[in-house]
Structure 1
Amino acid sequence: MDIVEFLEVVNEAPLRSAAKPRVPWKPCQPDDDPFITLPVFVAYCAIAAALRPWNRRNARFKVILCLQVEACLPVYTAAARVFLNGVADYKLGRTRPFVSDWGGRYSNRDQFEVQRMDRAIFLKEPKKDLDDEAILFADAVVDIPARTRSHVEAAMKRFELPIVDRDVELLLSEPWSRLDKAFPEGRPPTLALQRLRQYPRLATPTVAPVKVTDPTLADMHGYGKVVDWGHELARDIDNYKSGRIPWEDVDDGVLLSGPTGTGKTTFIRALANSCGVSVIAGSFSIWQSAGSLDDFLKAMRKTFEEAKAKAPSILFVDEVDAFGSRNIRDDNRSYWTAAIAGFLELLDGFHGREGVVVVAACNHPDSLDTAIRRAGRLGSHYQITLPDAQSRLSILKFHSGIELDNSQAAMFGMATEGFSGADIEQLARDARRAARRRLEDLSATHIIDQLITLTELSGDFVRALAVHEAGHALVSIEIGHGEVREVKISQYRIEGKSSQLGYVRYGQMGARPKTRTDYLNAIAVCLAGIAAEMEVFGWFADGASGSETADLNRATELATMLEGALGMGHTLIVEGPIDQLERLRAYNPEFRRRVHDILENEFGRVKSIIQTRRTALDAIIERLVQTKEMPGEEVAEIVRRHRTPTVSLAKLPRRSAGA
């Protein structure tokens, strides 16, 4: 007997005994039963077929139903409640039909909750695994069959729809998600079916989607020193596997910290791929969800034991800052103390941790108990910061396979300032979706379309930026203040947002005490931008002042420190800290005059340099307008090439013998 015949017999036969199954459209308590839609009824048919042995009045069971790949969890959850309503009377005030997601966030709690219940259904999605404990827990683990023509015809008969082959095929081929959207509660089934015909699925693009390969450390752009540590770890693990070094020589504990979304989890995947080992993941919240303190400690030990069983391996502990510190005094202090003590015991490896590298991640490393960060546990600490512009481009290429041209890269760099790796991954995902909707191949255009609106700057604006930044670079090279690494200007701006449109990046100055000359040179470099604007245009723009990091603000602060906080002004007297000096500058005319004199003298010096080296300045400006960015070596070469040769008067040139 197929499912249609089965349901028809059940519907027409009176309930003569407790062994007879119940039907979903005649619930005992209508208020307790979910509203049945056509997709829910189709799913119910599949569940009824899978659970035939328990499809009888007051049957007692706890089963795990394994969904197919195409299945829709919300639809099958509603269908499972319908089935439970059909086999038992859930009287007012008693427990409602219990259906849960196996392996979900509250799975452990739910398993404990149903111990005293007569019946329960857990639904397992294909991506989740079943272990031996699941087999022991459930009375049965059953695969739900895919929807069949019989299921669909039974549903159409239930909702008084004519059984037409075209509509049957439509209901069989449509994804569950579209069926769920087309047949909401309250919409007539005929109208829902009509809308399905009216709005067919969009054709799938013929181009294969970009395949994102598993990352390695070579793909971790912008992660800094932690990548170097990862390469060293990969070499050490390889040496350990070959027996060349003992495990004691391997750095087996490290702490990663950084803002949310900076890619700590992605780094772990890349680290494991480069080391050729497995990753076992755990976290404070996962262990705590196991239940009581004893369950928490048991779950934590189980994770460490799994890592040891797969050694050499990487044990990734996320949210490690949730452990907190034992120094915090509150009502739960004994709980935290025991939890941290258990974690420390496992980190120490007293019971053996050979072959297990513990990599812990957190957002707030300062909140960690100091014992956790002790040498031999998580002694090494690396901060993962937000990626710079070049790193963001590399991350984009990894996730999309798209390489932007120079103009697009400039727009992308400005629009994604402050983006994390996760933000860029989401941007690439949105771009792929946009390409699919348009039935187009993914391209740089789809990437740019996802960015916030940028305004292209006029040629005069770009030239003014070039003049300003060229002045900074030229003066810095001329007075030997510091190595110029890069000069860059933007061709775009974000409307309504204050953003840096140009900059000069300098190298680190040598580790030595700074003198008055060093501070005066720093002031001169700050004033060089407006000096160049004055030389070229006869005016300077307001971008040089206003914010704390603006040129004039920074020059004024340095001059104030020199005169009043460092003893390097007209007297050795130190007037006070910088915040007090600002008040002194505002209310003491004499102090204000001395600060002004420092700025005036350095501005005069800078203007003289700019005027003398005007040809070099113009060459840098023209090149910067053309390329928008220049490496420091190119700037230095232009300055050297345009330096006016000098002839020494101390010695006359030798005359040739034939002269």
Structure 2
Amino acid sequence: MGAVTVLDCPPGGMIDDAASLLAALLARGGARPPVRIIALRAAGDARAAGRPEDALVPAMAAISATTAPHVLLVEAGVALPGAIAATLPAPLRLGPVDGWLVAAALGLRGGGTAHLRASLPDDAALRALTPGQLRFALRHRIRDRQIAELHRIARSNQSNRSNSPTLDDIAGYGEAEAAAHRLTADLAAWQAGRIAWGEMTRSLLFVGPPGSGKTWLARAIAATAGVPLIEGSLAAWQAAGHLGDMLRAMRASFAQAQAAAPAVLFLDEIDGAGDRGSDDSHARTYRRQVINALLELLDSAGRTPGLVILAACNDLDALDPAIRRPGRIDRIVAVPPPGPAAIVRILTRRLDGALSAKAIDSLARRAIGQSAAALDGAVREARSQARDAGRALTGGDVARALGLAREEPAIIRRFALHEAGHAIAATRLARGRVQEIRVGMAGGHVALGHRVPLLTRRDLTDQLTCLLAGRAAEELVLGSGCTGAGRGADSDLAKATDIALRLELVYGLSGHSLVHVADPARMLVSDPAVRTRADRRLRTALRRARQLLAAEYHWLLHLADRLCAERVIACGDAGLDRPGPDPEARHEP
């Protein structure tokens, strides 16, 4: 057996590029005897003949049968069997693309490497190129065109980063905003050599409802730090195809981020991976393999100096505990929907002087409840409308694009009553400290701090009451509820139904049975008795919420009136204040 070198190669088709470049460089260097290159591609690669482990047998036989030197390229995702891994030398990891590597590739047809290196974009710009971008630029046969394409794509990437928000554009995100500023400051200190990589926070998990601005915040962190942002999500990975393709796409995102470090890897909708201990038996094997692969990749990424990991989820309870444990995720922070200050900052940046500060303040007050993405998209749509009309952008254009051209006072009041009901119930039942209440044409939100864990039957019953207090407030004052309480999987009714089912079938706290049912949602559909018991529990909680709010009728009306007038009530750590006695002694009609 001759000398053997094992190289770990990132996914994304780079193994073929690496093999071709390595062969050309070795041939140019006159290696004697000639070096043989063997590529082991990951499963799911259309060019891989069967399973990677099947290709190992003939590969090892070829290596053992000759004294010629070999280079074994192993694509990410190929697990060498223990006996073979022990026989081969420890693998070397291919470093990130840099100017010298690209110059060496361009110099294969002649020319000084140092001269070529000086004509290329800097290393940071080259590291930010995706494998596809690099391949696209080098497709030309003429070297000057290759270099020009590399510069053009690098400028385009830089322009995209420049158009991203920075933390200077972020305000009103509380704990998440503070954590973001600390992370970027630490990353700058690490790059300057003032602190060790192990001394800083290297990963954050953003938790918040859809549209709260988690992606916006991740992009702002990367732009502020001046490093590439690599984005991945369960939805994008699953779109690659079956399980093997999906895992390969996942590994490609991580490999691209590791090669680009210092960089930010943003994992959106990470709760889509699910929980291996979930009661849902559907696709359990698939879910387990996805989570196991994700854990392995998080561990590997966590050992990469300069790679910051940001993840986002809507439902922390749906996320596998192993993903969010310390060591993989350093800190979990809540991201509330953007408030007035955040909306003003977002609109100010996107409008770039097109509207006055007064006009932006007016828009921000009416846009409470809109997501950062909706605000961003609305400004683009408004600019398009103004261009089409051949005139300057106006506040009316933005308002129309946001669906705010006409405010409906009746809708605002209904939403205000709904959120006031939630806030009062949470305060009365000590389910959490109300920090902020917001309302707008797009809906409302109550931000709670110091949440009480759901441990006992009383805790769960109180939580049911709080979830249904918004609907109860509407019924109490307006005579009926509306569709908002049951719109979507994240709605009040959906959450309350889930708790009612778990009380009956999972936690053994119903008083009827200690049996644990693995899939309570399926029982809701298939068992009328379960549906009846869950419905009875929900109706009891709704009656209790009505009684609680009827006793606080003056407080409910006072809080709703304030919300209609102010749109945002910031309570801070003091919690929600109760108003003084009502001189007119208004009570439930």
Query: Which of structures 1 and 2 has the bigger CA Rg?
Result: 1
TM-score w.r.t. structure 2 length? 0.49
TM-score w.r.t. structure 1 length? 0.45
Higher relative CO (CA 8 A, sep ≥ 6), structure 1 or 2? 2
